[in-house]
Structure 1
Amino acid sequence: MAELNRWIGRLATTAVVVLAFVQPPAAQQPGGSDDPVLSIPTFWDPKRRVERPPAGSVQAIRFLTTDDFPPFGFLDENGRLTGFNVDLASAICAELDISCTIQAREWDDLLRALEDGNADAVLAGIAITVAARELLDFSDVYLRTPGRFATRADMEPFALTADGMAGKTLAVVARTAHEAYLAAFFPEVGRKLYPTVDEARAALRNGEADAFFGDGMQLSFWLQSEAADGCCRFIGGPYLESRFFGEGMAVALPRDAVDLKQAIDSALASLFENGTYAELYLRYFPVGFF
């Protein structure tokens, strides 16, 4: 188990997978917009149909998650377990019309419980890696966190190209995947490195930088925060290269749980088609990051 925990990271970031489709994002999103236009991401191929396993083959699902990682899993003011992952697990079971339990465990206990047969599935952002796939199976990806650019709301929009960013200064956190991405794809654009994300975003807010590049989900929460004070907005669309941003979030499963994986994959696709996924996304991510 110690070797397994070394291989599997805390949070799956974002990725392009073989079957991943994203609706075109809004060109400019908030803070700064009184009428934001949100784009709901989808990671399911509309031409692919996942057949459900035979009736009765999956009668219940014991989900595990964590309660210390908002907005994915946390305790509300009444001490009730809630969050995006929690509600998604409930929606999966409702779609399959089966009973399920959703319990919170310490991060270090999640995979041990799965390995020991005390849980059927873990919905907690287990990183999808080559090493992890040798020991676990994963459902289809249900969420990714892309890299995104933000500028001040009072700036004229500019193209996210070498010519469009000529003379601009980009704030980015040093020694991160986002710095590496800029170095690889925007090598001619000036970058100002900061030791922390708070300092990098403050540089954008205070006008020390013309744009910031970082984790889209974190950025969406900052844009609506008091720290941002309505200063800034997204510009351009999501960047999803898996070499830099990981392979996304999926339900972790035992490798031999073929029927369970098929059932969960079919439920996820149905939840997108019937609008449930969009409702959950907007509930927990009111400033969309796609």
Structure 2
Amino acid sequence: MKKIYSVGIVMLVVSFLCGCSVYGKGKNGETAADNLPVITVGCDNYSPFSYMDTNGNMTGIDVELAREAFSQMGYSPKFVFINWEDKKKLLADGEIDCIWSSFTMTDRETEYNWAGPYMKSRQVVAVRTDSEIQTLQDLEGKIVAVQNTTKPEDIIRSYNGTVPKLQKIISVQKRDLIFILLSKGYVDALAAHETAVDQFMEESGPKFRILKEPLQSVDLGVAFDKSDTRGLNEKLTEILNKMQRDGTVKQVISRYLPNADRYLEEGYDGE
């Protein structure tokens, strides 16, 4: 009985690991149950773009768009959560095929082979509702929280005139921590995607105030490694453009965010 019990435990563990692997192998000829070649999509746990629902299933704006787009290209997407700081190395090593997770392509155009843009977003600063901070210039001498290796961190740390000199910048690995730091009063403000702030407030309860002046308006895209010569980014761009023209992108965004039109790329407002 002990031997049977041990074998059962081993099989259970193996099954769990296979279903919940942190990194998937890209570019290795793997096929899915539907016999389509697998394309491994690296993503962050970043609601409402890519996250696990209450049933343990991957969902979100980017997940739905990826499933539809890659299906039209003849691929079956496999989504894996990655350490966001390692994203470029994972691409170069072939551990993932692409990065699709509310990834800003603005000012990174030469770092990757991009597909898109497929959606607009704003990088913003949020404060507590009782804060005296009203403008970006009011951040002088304040403490701001950001997620590591994100576009908001790039902007905040650049001191290019967008924001004044801060007292301190706190960078954390997990995005949800920036909201906790602000709600507890450990920081004066946070910088993030506007959609992420809206989604956190809707799902978690704490209310913040987003400053009217954004840090930057950006385009979101899908990143492939610079050495990837398969041309998948070019084909994916064609598919994403088609999905914007036929209203698919707007329909998907509408399931997660109000006022979907403000996130659409110019020329794809449904008119």
TM range (shorter): 0.5 to 0.7
For these two proteins, the number of residue pairs brought into alignment is 205
Deviation at 1:264, TM superposition (A): 1.1
1:119-138 equivalent positions in 2, closer than 5 A: 121-125=97-101, 132-133=111-112, 137-138=113-114
Q: Does residue 214 of the first structure (1) align with residue 191 of the second (2)?
A: yes
Q: 1:146 to 1:79 in 2, by over 3 A?
A: same
Question: Are the equivalent residues in 2 in contact too, given 1:63–1:103 (CA < 8 A)?
Answer: yes
The structure with more strand, counted as a fraction of residues: 2
Contact 2:115 2:233 in 1 (8 A): yes
Q: Which residue of 2 aligns with 1:100?
A: 75
C-alpha deviation, 1:114, in angstroms: 4.4
Secondary structure of 1:255 counterpart: coil
Picking from 223, 228, 236, the partner of 1:255 is: 228
1:86-130, Cα deviation, whole Å (9 max, x unpaired):
211122145x4x533112346489637848xxx8x4243478658
Deviations 1:189-225 (A, max 9, x none): xx45464733345439xxx95xx35112442333335
Instruction: Tell me by how many angstroms 1:250 deviates.
Output: 1.3
Q: Is the 8 A contact 1:172 1:178 kept in 2?
A: no
**Structure 2 residue ranges without an equivalent (≥5):** 1-35, 173-177, 264-271
Among 194, 199, 212, the alignment partner of 2:181 is 199
Equivalent residue, structure 1, for 2:14: none
Q: Aligned partners of 2:168, 2:259: CA distance in 1, in Å?
A: 26
Q: Which amino acid aligns with 1:101?
A: S
Higher relative contact order (CA 8 A, sep 6+): 1
Give the counterpart of 1:240 among 197, 213, 216: 216
Q: How does 1:42-191 map to 2 (within 5 A)?
A: 62-66=38-42, 69-71=45-47, 72-93=49-70, 96=72, 98-105=73-80, 107=82, 111=91, 114=94, 121-125=97-101, 132-133=111-112, 137-143=113-119, 146-151=122-127, 153=129, 160=135, 165=138, 171-173=143-145, 176-181=153-158, 184-187=161-164, 191=166
3-state SS of the aligned residue for 1:271?
Answer: helix
Q: What value does the CA root-mean-square deviation take over the aligned residues?
A: 4.7
1:25 aligned partner? none
The whole-number CA distance in structure 2 between the counterparts of 1:226 and 1:73 is 17
Secondary structure class of the residue paired with 2:211? strand
Letter in 1 for 2:91: L
- Structure 1: tracts of 5 or more residues without a match: 1-59
Distance 1:272 1:182 in 2: 35
Compared CA separation, residues 114 and 127, structure 1 to 2 (3 A): farther
Q: Hey, what's the Cα distance between the residues in 2 that align with 1:90 and 1:122?
A: 13
Alpha-carbon distance in 1 for matches of 2:104, 2:75: 24
Q: Secondary structure at the match of 2:75?
A: strand
Q: 1:272 aligns with which of 244, 248, 266?
A: 244
Q: Is the 8 A contact 1:139 1:264 kept in 2?
A: yes
Q: What is the CA distance between 1:172 and its match in structure 2? A: 1.4
Partners of 2:160 and 2:198 in 1: how far apart? Answer: 23
Structure ranking higher in helix proportion: 2
1:138-185 CA distances to partner (integer Å, 9 max, x unpaired)? 212335664313355578995x475xx59x875513894354256733
The answer on whether the counterparts of 1:143 and 1:250 sit within 8 Å (CA) in structure 2 is no
Matched-pair identity in % = 15
Answer whether contact 2:46 2:196 (CA < 8 A) is retained. no
- TM-score, normalization by structure 1: 0.50
In structure 2, give the amino acid aligned to 1:281: I
For the residue of structure 2 that corresponds to 1:281, the secondary structure is: helix
The one-letter amino acid of 1:235's match is: L
Q: Distance in 1 between matches of 2:114 and 2:58?
A: 23
